[in-house]
Structure formats: structure tokens, C-alpha cells
Amino acid sequence: MSGVTLGLLAAPLGAEAQKTKVPRIGLLSPWDSSLRGVREPFERGLRELGWAPGSTIFIEQRYAAGKPEQLPILATELVQMNVDVIVAHGGAAIRAARQATSTIPIVMSALGGDPVQQGLVQSLGRPGGNLTGLTVPAQGNIEPKQLELLKEAVPGLTRVGILANRSGDQAVADALSAAANILRLQLQTFEVSAPEEIPDAFAAMERSGVRAVLLRGDPLVLDPYSRQSVTLALKHRLAAIYPWPHIPVYGGLMSYNTSISELHRRSASYVDRILKGAKPGDLPIEQPTKFDLVINLKTAKALGLTIPQSLLQRADQVIE
């Protein structure tokens, strides 16, 4: 009789435990935890939707600290923890998560380029499978505008250095070359393949006589060392435009791109819908429509630049 009673008592307790289970979200990124631009806006988005990080929802973060070869291992760790959703930042993290699981929902946070062309999803409107989320513009679509803004910011500019990963996309180089012809700018590309080559590249730019530099987005070498690039640009008196809007906050001159922070905040809405029962394959992929121009006037002053008022009026953020 006592065994039956214990069984009857255990059933409601088990049901209650299941009912109150706190969801766990895996956050996977190629950067390290010091890049607050990933987690902070994501948590802000969760709070706006009624979640309380650390209380009603838990976040398990895994950062590769600029070593993308670690991402498959970290993705597997999250799968083994049986998290409810994985939020993956950047192409390498997204692909690692997709290889690690075909069942746990994956939310792309800031994938560069077209996920259909990359073979990640069936379509933007109906991705299918366990993957959905947000994209950023394909490389080659933003850089010509960055070049135009750089010329507008630097009076009399005729020569621009392009800092790029040696293994970068040739289509971006072609797009920049076409834009340079229209803008009557001479381009000189300085290629690197490892972080330790970045200081020599900046020194070579100064020796070559270029007055400004456009840094191409690169998750493997340049992006993780953007703070170093900011310091080197100032040291060598180069006006620089960067691919990500958080960089002028810590001293970069300018940036122009979609708001990555906003994409991370928006990724919370996907997590919210999935936790409430939506299937990731049924949630359309979002593409950005807003692009931010950020200018650091303190850095401009340090470089002896006076940013035209017409450009300042178009900026989404001016740091003084």
C-alpha cells in the first residue's frame, strides 16, 4: 500500500518540476566575453519580452576567444548540456552549431551574406530545419559606401589603404576597385593572415603615403584585434573607417554598417517565440534595413581632422 501511495505522490511532483523548468539558452560566439556588444543587447531584448536572465531564463555562454577552430568543440558542449536554443553569432559559429545538432533550434545572430546561397536554409521566408535568425549584408555591398564616407571625411583624399585578410573574398576587392574609380581614389591593399602582421601593415601604410585606411570585416584576424587597429591607426596618423559600430566607442574614427547590437537584441525575439512553441523552420529570416554611421570627434581632433558638418548631420551617433 505504501508503494502505491509513494507512486501517486511522485507523479504530481514530477509534473510540477517539468512545468517549472527554467529554459537554458546557449550563446556561441567566436569572440571572448569582453565583447559586451553580444550578450548585453541579447539580455536587454529578453528583458523587454518579459524574461529575467539568471532567474526565469539561464544563459550558457561559450566564446572561442578569437580561435574559430574551437567553435565545433564549444558547440558540442552546448548540445551535450541539452540547451533549449543555441544563439550563434557569425558564420563560423552558426556552421559549428548546425554541424553539432539537427534538432536543437539555432538562432543566427548576424550571419554575413545570404544563408540560402551558403546552403544553410531552404529559403528566407521559410527556412526549414532547425535554423532561423538574422543576417547582415553580404560583403561587397557595404564597403563602397564606407569608401565614399571616408573620402567625404578627409578633405583632399586621393590614396586609401585597404587592410584585409589575405584569404578574403575577391568580390569585395572588385567592388572596392569599381567604387574607387568612380570616386577617383587610388587604392593600395595591405594583406595580413595573422594578428602579428597587423602592426607591420600599418607601418607600411604610413611609409607608402596613404592618408586613410578602410578595414574590411574579417572574423578570423582583424575583427578580434580591432582595439589594436584603433591604436595603430592613431599612431600612424591614419583616418580609419571600421566595419562595426562598437569600434568608434573605444577610439576608432568612423564606422558604417548595420547595427550589430540591434541584431543581437532582435535575436531575443526568435528565442522568445521558439520557447513559446514556434518551430524555427517556420520563422522567416530577417534582413537589416537600418545602417548606422558613427563618428568619434575626439579621434578626429587627435588626427587634425575637421569632419564636415554635412557628414555630422547624417551620423546616427557622434562621440565627443
Task: List, for residues 284-299, the tens digit of each pLDDT value.
Answer: 999 887 788 999 999 9
Ranking 59-63, 138-142, 146-150, 275-279 by mean pLDDT, the lowest is 138-142
Residues 205 and 133 reside in one and the same domain: no
Distance, in Å, from the CA atom of 20 to the CA atom of 58, rounded to the nearest integer, reads 13
Contact of 35 with 223, CB cutoff 8 Å: no
Q: Say whether pLDDT at 250 is over 90.
A: no
Return the amino acid letter for 56.
Answer: T
Residue 32's pLDDT is what? 60
Lowest mean pLDDT among 14-28, 130-144, 145-159, 188-202: 14-28
pLDDT greater than 90 at residue 134: yes
> Both 231 and 198 in a single domain?
yes
pLDDT band at 6 (very low <50, low <70, confident <90, very high): very low
Closest CA to 305 of 254, 255, 248: 254
pLDDT mean over 146-161? 96
Burial class (CB in 10 A: 0-12, 13-18, 19+), 119: exposed
* 104 and 232 assigned to the same domain: no
Taking only the tens place, the pLDDT of each residue in 230-247 is 999 999 999 999 988 878
Instruction: Tell me the pLDDT tens digit for each residue of 64-84.
Output: 876 778 999 999 999 999 999
Q: Out of 21-35, 39-53, 91-105, 271-285, pick the least confident.
A: 21-35
**Same domain, yes or no, for 309 and 213?**
yes
Does residue 253 sit in the same domain as residue 163?
A: yes
Q: Considering the entire predicted model, what is its pTM?
A: 0.70
Q: For the sheet with 58-63, list strands across it.
A: 58-63, 24-29, 85-89, 106-112, 131-136
Q: What is the mean pLDDT of residues 205-233?
A: 88
Q: Which domain holds residue 134?
A: 2-138+260-289
Indicate whether 168 and 300 sit together in one domain.
Answer: yes
Q: Are residues 167 and 182 in the same domain?
A: yes
Same domain for 162 and 268: no
Mean pLDDT computed over 123-151: 90
On whether both 297 and 285 belong to a single domain, the answer is no
d(CA 85, CA 277): 12
Q: Can you give the pLDDT at residue 244?
A: 81
Q: Let me know whether 115 and 236 are in one domain.
A: no
**Region of poorest pLDDT, from 32-36, 86-90, 145-149, 300-304:** 32-36
Least confident of 95-99, 125-129, 263-267, 300-304: 263-267
Q: What is the CATH number of the domain that holds 38?
A: 3.40.50.2300
pLDDT band at 1 (very low <50, low <70, confident <90, very high): very low
pLDDT of amino acid 20: 67
Widest Cα–Cα separation across the chain: 93
Q: Do 149 and 218 belong to one domain? A: yes
**Under 8 Å between Cβ of 258 and 287:** no
Looking at residues 155-175, what average pLDDT do you find?
90
The tens digit of pLDDT for each residue in 10-25 reads 445 554 444 568 999 9
Listed in order, strand segments (DSSP E) in 113-266 are 131-136, 159-165, 186-192, 212-215, 239-242, 254-258
For range 32-51, the mean pLDDT: 82
Give residue 226's pLDDT band: very low, low, confident or very high (50, 70, 90): confident
Q: What is the mean pLDDT of the chain?
A: 88
Is 131's pLDDT higher than 60?
A: yes
Judge contact between 219 and 30, C-beta under 8 A: yes
Q: Identify the band that residue 3 occupies on the pLDDT scale cut at 50, 70 and 90.
A: very low
pLDDT at 176: 94
**What is the number of domains present in the chain?**
2
Reduced to 3 states (helix: H, G, I; strand: E, B; else coil), residue 187 is strand
Same domain, 120 and 161: no
